[in-house]
């Protein structure tokens, strides 16, 4: 897995309610804000977080969504993480990554999906 960013909690609430930091790949660099949705949906498949960046005019623009998930195996089983998707018409395809807590910060990690064998 490649680390593509570091985020820090920006408020006194739950660690996952408001994260801010930078996401950087070879073709994408932005300061992002990942915030919990104010009125969560009853639908379990609905996003739990919104992802915003500041555009060239300085306005906040929504570019993605996040879903709070639970690690289901390994030494960190039971811990939370965010599954995040960023998308924009200028992207050739969406950027999917995970955000894991590491002490007082969160690391955004990316891993290429493996093709499923038949």
Instruction: Tell me if 95 is assigned to some domain.
Output: yes
Q: What is the predicted pLDDT for the residue at 100?
A: 96
Please report whether residue 116 resides in a domain: no
Token reading at 35 = 């915030």
Residue 98 lies in a domain: yes
For position 32, what pLDDT does the model report?
95
Rg of the chain in Å (alpha carbons): 14
Residue 115 lies in a domain: no
Question: Is 22 part of any domain?
Answer: yes
Report if residue 102 sits inside a domain: yes
pLDDT at position 118 = 59
Provide the domain count of the chain: 1
Give a three-class secondary structure readout of 83-102: EEEECCCCCCCCEEEEEEEE
Q: What is the pLDDT at residue 40?
A: 80
d(CA 42, CA 74): 29
Taking CA atoms, 112 is separated from 2, 17, 20, 74, 109, in Å, by: 9, 27, 24, 20, 10
Give 10-residue mean pLDDT values along the chain (118 residues). Answer: 93 90 90 92 91 90 95 91 93 93 95 69
């Amino acid at each position: 897995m490649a680390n593509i960013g570091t985020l820090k909690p920006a408020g006194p609430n739950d660690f996952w309610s408001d994260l801010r930091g930078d996401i950087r790949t070879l073709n994408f660099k932005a300061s992002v804000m990942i915030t919990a949705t104010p009125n969560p949906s009853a639908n379990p498949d609905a996003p739990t977080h919104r992802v915003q960046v500041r555009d060239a005019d300085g306005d906040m623009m929504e570019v993605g969504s996040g879903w709070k998930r639970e690690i289901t195996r390994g030494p960190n089983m039971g811990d939370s993480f965010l599954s995040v998707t960023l998308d924009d018409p200028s992207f050739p395809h969406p950027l999917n990554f995970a955000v894991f807590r590491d002490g007082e910060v969160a690391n955004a990690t990316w891993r290429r999906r493996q093709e499923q064998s038949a």
